[in-house]
Structure 1
């Protein structure tokens, strides 16, 4: 599978300061009846965005969010905990997010996100607090240097596993990476 490569991403943020946001909050289980990614963005954080009659909630931070200008979600710690559900990063990506920043992102969510073109960024507590306190701030994520830069020029670094970073930079999942290596693999096989 391929997706748009991520090298640098500059965007305004959407902030969800709640901790322990689990995958059932990201996409409720009743929306897991498909294996198609397209359209899942409409169900992202559904119970936070809509009331029981399907009307938008006035209190939702998602009201008025323009996916063209708000591609970075900043969330409280332990984001993406709960059950493994590939639909969660699918829904966030289809909603328009390209990255999620937190001080702590659940391992399974992180892995699923990386394989589906959603960049999970774990920052230190000080950087995280600054981001949580600045909804709508303009932030740049540079995957090549592994740095997050605020509008005022302040920077913070983040770790990312090397192979996942390579795949995100190239815009491919692990299988796509292997397929891209076919000429070298075939050349090696011919020489044997």
Structure 2
């Protein structure tokens, strides 16, 4: 009987010692993105239309959208967009890693391997763009590469263009090769 009491006392002491550890459990994983904590809403499979006087100018898709500032700004992840002309025909597509859509100013900014591809084969690659809906203008002050069919290529820093890449105004040309250059008359 004495052995049973000693064994029970030993087990109780061992359990008590195990429960009295002063080590703290690791903290629960928190978010590293403060925007997730301050978002008014979060949407998955996001889609919105950018219009001008009833005319569809762009359709924007994102994997994830975080709505901020009383839902007037959306922070977008995995962005895809389509630009449309005055007739409603699709003129170009955009893909980017992240974006920011300001619904008050009707401005879309996109970052991270931004690629705009026009329906006639022009491709613009840059780290960042800004689309201003009221002017139907795509602009950037970043480095870019513009390629056209026929192995034409232009590299530079900064540009302004329409979304279809038809009228590209370059701030600083670094290098260009291929074909002839058409200058506007006037």
Sort the TM-score into its range (normalised by shorter chain): under 0.3
- Higher gyration radius (CA): 2
The structure whose RCO (Cα within 8 Å, separation 6+) is larger is: 1
Q: TM-score, normalised by structure 1?
A: 0.27
TM-score in terms of structure 2 length: 0.28
Which is richer in strand? 2
